[in-house]
Amino acid sequence: MDMSSKSDQQLQNLVDNHRSAGKLDAPLAVAAIEEQARRNTTFNFKAGIEFLLQAARDRRAVNYRQLAEAGNVLKASDTWHQHMARKIPLSQIVDYAHTHDMPAITALVETTQGVTDSILAGFQKGLNDTGIRLPVGISIREYYFAERQRTFDWATDK
């Protein structure tokens, strides 16, 4: 199916319907997710993903500002404002990673203060939205850091 002819709302509906059915890996959903990424004019999705993958290969965490700069949301000389974090499509990044057999690479993203409750809540929401469930008996903090380590290990093999 040609996704370029679909409206933004139609793409979102396709993703949401597949998400609800637990079939986010279906070819139609994957195509819709890729088209959403391609259309994102606020955040350079390809550059942002490559930045995260390089950070994983370097075995380092990144902050929102660094990811925003990598995704061309702002320039290095621009003043950072908290609302800019909303321009980074973390949920789309989780979906993209999931549908491309990557770990949850958003486990690399933290604030300049480190891994806060807000970071963990956002990470949990991204996992839930994508249909990824925590293993029984593990906290979101434990899973976040385990997923970060898994991302580092995965990137080493790429």
- Residue (of 116, 129, 56, 30) closest to 89 by Cα position: 129
Looking at every residue in the chain, the average pLDDT score rounds to 90
- Residue (of 153, 99, 89) closest to 122 by Cα position: 89
Residue pLDDT, tens place only, 72-130: 988 888 888 776 777 888 888 998 998 899 999 999 999 989 999 999 999 998 888 88
**Percent of the chain whose predicted confidence (pLDDT) is above 90:** 57
Domain ranges within the chain, ordered by starting residue? 1-39, 43-156
